Amino acid sequence: MVEKIYKIKGGKKLEGEIELAGAKNVATKVIIASLLSEEKSILENIPEIGDVEITLKMCESLGVKYKWLDKNVLEIEPSLKDYRVPLEYSGKNRVPILFFGPLLHRFKKAEIPIVGGCQIGQRPVDFHINGYQLLGAKIIYQDNVYIASCDKLKGITIELQYPSVGATENLLLGAVLAEGTTVIRNAAIEPEIEDLVLFLQSMGAIIYQDVNRTWIVEGRKKLKGTTFRIMNDRIEAVSFASLAIANQGNIFIKGIDPRGISTFLNYVRKIGADFELFKNGIRFYNSFPLKGIALETDVHPGFMTDWQPPFSIVLTQAEGVSIIHETVYENRFGYVSALNEMGAKIYLFTNCLGSKPCRFCYHDFPHSAIIVGPTTLKGKELEVPDLRAGFSYLIASLIAEGESTILGIEKIERGYENIKERLQNIGAEIKEEVKT
């Protein structure tokens, strides 16, 4: 088998400018949401990444037509012909489950294979299924497929057990064309969801955000096609910022909206690094020494779980002890043992090492980490376990002594557009090779 790998020489200071791409976790959602109309939509700022490619293939398999009108500009013709998402897409990403809304509204039935995504926890879909059942769908699970049907979806109040991003988005897609009003309580309110809501509004949906994590949706009979530019990727923003700080570099990240990362900016200051805000971006740099800190990941507006792996590499360079309590996914430290082999000192605990009540208490999940720094990292061969861990390996390799080889780079390319070229542009010594 032929495999693409990255070879990285560490230690070089990175300087220059990186421009953010469109948000992965909005792009795939607006592609599916555009299928709620029978008219064409034009989606702008769509990153050309693996996850978008898989989503488009899934849409195509259902009869949808699409074309790239320009770089990052996608036209979707929502000519749905089938209500069955093929089984081959089971396990590829988190997207198939989001087809419930468009397929149930168009065909009154949907068949959806089990969903995948990064292996960072069990990632069940019970909130999605329960929510759609409350909206009026009958759903059974058979041979790895959810088989759903309905006469029509009807608005109702749904209280999520946890403010799940995917379940909130999925139920919004069901609610916008349901009969009557749907209220989603204890919902997720991440900026990516606000962007999806803006997109749905531009299609004609009526959606209010109320206090206490509540979305109120007044169902419409029809939605229209639209033209919409999605937000830039705030996980990319923090990934590149973490790289700049860990590397003692100086990187201007163009296109960051600071409102989406203000919690992260506090931590940048708390560890002793710095940033400078400009109209069109933020420059990150640091003047060592960095200081250890304690942080807990959380739903928005907390410290985002997807920022945790890249930022943990920063903390390996900070003096003293740092503590991370991961409260969103039970298994998001799978990347740590390889870092320890590079020379990091990261210790995992099943205890909640934080002040917030966490769902993973007493469940034997290694969801807290103590990082002792600073440590010198040494290059090594690394196999990427998941997307954000993959980016943390890129950072680790770029600050390590010697050369690293990264395997499984398609997992990184699933979420970061042209990553090798963009890193090369700020001085990274990274090249792609083929391993046979």
Residues that bind ligand EPU (CB under 6 A): 24-25, 94, 117-118, 121-128, 162, 164-167, 188, 190, 235, 305-306, 328-329, 387-388, 415
Query: Nearest distance from residue 330's CB to ligand EPU, in Å?
Result: 7
Is 150 annotated as catalytic? no
Query: Nearest distance from residue 425's CB to ligand EPU, in Å?
Result: 23
Q: Closest CB to ligand EPU among 16 and 124?
A: 124
Q: Closest CB to ligand EPU among 121 and 374?
A: 121
User: Which residue among the candidates 59, 118, 150, 352 is catalytic per the annotation?
Assistant: 118
Enumerate the β-bridge partners of residue 43. Answer: 74, 228
- What is the dihedral angle through the alpha carbons of 265, 270, 271, 276, rounded to the nearest 10 degrees? 40
Q: Closest CB to ligand EPU among 196 and 273?
A: 196
Instruction: Work out the number of other CB atoms within 10 angstroms of the CB of residue 148.
Output: 22
Which residue's Cβ lies closest to ligand EPU? 166
- Helix orientation angle between 165-175 and 24-33, rounded to the nearest 10 degrees: 20
| Contact assessment for residue 18 and residue 425, using Cβ atoms and an 8 Å cutoff | yes
| Contact assessment for residue 435 and residue 407, using Cβ atoms and an 8 Å cutoff | yes
Q: List helix spans (H) across 97-251.
A: 100-107, 126-134, 165-175, 191-202, 234-246
SS3 for 399? helix
| Contact assessment for residue 262 and residue 51, using Cβ atoms and an 8 Å cutoff | no
Q: Closest CB to ligand EPU among 111 and 190?
A: 190
| Contact assessment for residue 405 and residue 430, using Cβ atoms and an 8 Å cutoff | no
Please give the Cα distance from 138 to 122 (Å, whole number).
Answer: 24
CA-to-CA dists, residue 425 to 72, 142, 429, angstroms: 20, 49, 10
Which residue type is seen at 57?
A: K
Query: Nearest distance from residue 162's CB to ligand EPU, in Å?
Result: 5
Query: Nearest distance from residue 414's CB to ligand EPU, in Å?
Result: 9
DSSP letter at 303 equals B
DSSP codes joined into one string, 184-195 = EES----HHHHH
Query: Nearest distance from residue 326's CB to ligand EPU, in Å?
Result: 10
Query: Nearest distance from residue 108's CB to ligand EPU, in Å?
Result: 23
DSSP letter at 144 equals T
Please give the Cα distance from 426 to 335 (Å, whole number).
Answer: 25
| Contact assessment for residue 30 and residue 230, using Cβ atoms and an 8 Å cutoff | yes
Q: Closest CB to ligand EPU among 189 and 428?
A: 189
Q: Closest CB to ligand EPU among 32 and 290?
A: 32
| Contact assessment for residue 254 and residue 426, using Cβ atoms and an 8 Å cutoff | no
- Catalogue the active-site residues: 118
